[in-house]
Structure formats: C-alpha cells, structure tokens
Amino acid sequence: MKIFHYQDVEAKDAEEDASKLRVRWLITKEVGAENFAMRLFEMETGGHSPFHSHPWEHEVFILEGEGLAVGEGEERKFRAGDAIFIPPNEKHQLKNNGKKTVKFLCLIPYTHK
C-alpha cells in the first residue's frame, strides 16, 4: 500500500490544445498500478481541455467547481460531485466557465501506452 499527498506530486501543463490546465499523475505504473492511471486536473477559470477522442474510455469525477462538458453537437453542465463517463472514440472536452478552479480526477487504462 502506498499513501502520499497529492501536493507531493508535481503539477505539469496538460497536453497541447489545452488552456489553463495542469495535471498531476497520482497513481501510475511507477507506484505499482498495472492497469489504470489516476490523474488530478486543475483547470483555471476560462480554461479547457482539448476537443479530442481516443480509443479508450475514461472516467471523471468533479471534486470542485463547475463548467461544461462538450461533445459533438452538445454541451452539458457539470458541478462538484458529478461523475462523467466518456466512452471510447467519443469526442469530448471540458471547459471551466465558472468563477473558481475546477478540480477533477480522471482515470484511464494503460491500453493506449
């Protein structure tokens, strides 16, 4: 078992085509996770993830803040406490249109690496 504080993990700028978005890779192969990675994202007001798709599903849990989940032809509001499931190959993007930083956990499988 490994326990550590999230602030002990370095926050890095997220992938290109994202804005005002930082990521901390909390649970990874380096700590012994063989199947999934757990990431903590922090998105400032006005920030967004890239509008993209990939062949794996992922799961998101909103810890703080509110914003919009964007898909092809739809936008849906999210807020703290919401869980979001994104199936494989579905185009998606998260946007922070609220007044404070959005923090969310995102879990992904290692099938893409």
What does each C-alpha distance from 101 to 36, 38, 64 come to in angstroms? Answer: 25, 19, 7
Range of the structural domain that residue 50 is part of = 11-98
Residue 112 lies in a domain: no
* Reported pTM: 0.93
88-105 confidence digits (pLDDT tens): 999 999 999 999 999 999
Q: Is 4 inside a domain boundary?
A: no
Domain containing 20 — which CATH number? 2.60.120.10
d(CA 100, CA 96) in angstroms, rounded, equals 8
**Would residue 109 count as lying in a domain?**
no
Residue 96, number of CB atoms within 10 A of its CB: 24
Residue 76 domain-assigned (yes or no):
yes
Does a structural domain hold residue 105?
no
In a domain, 3, yes or no: no
Q: How many domains does the chain have?
A: 1
Amino acid occupying residue 49: S
Distance CA 91, CA 11 (A): 25
User: How far apart are alpha carbons 99 and 103 in whole angstroms?
Assistant: 13
pLDDT in tens, 1-51: 999 999 999 999 998 899 999 999 999 999 999 999 999 999 999 999 999
- Residue 103: inside a domain, yes or no? no
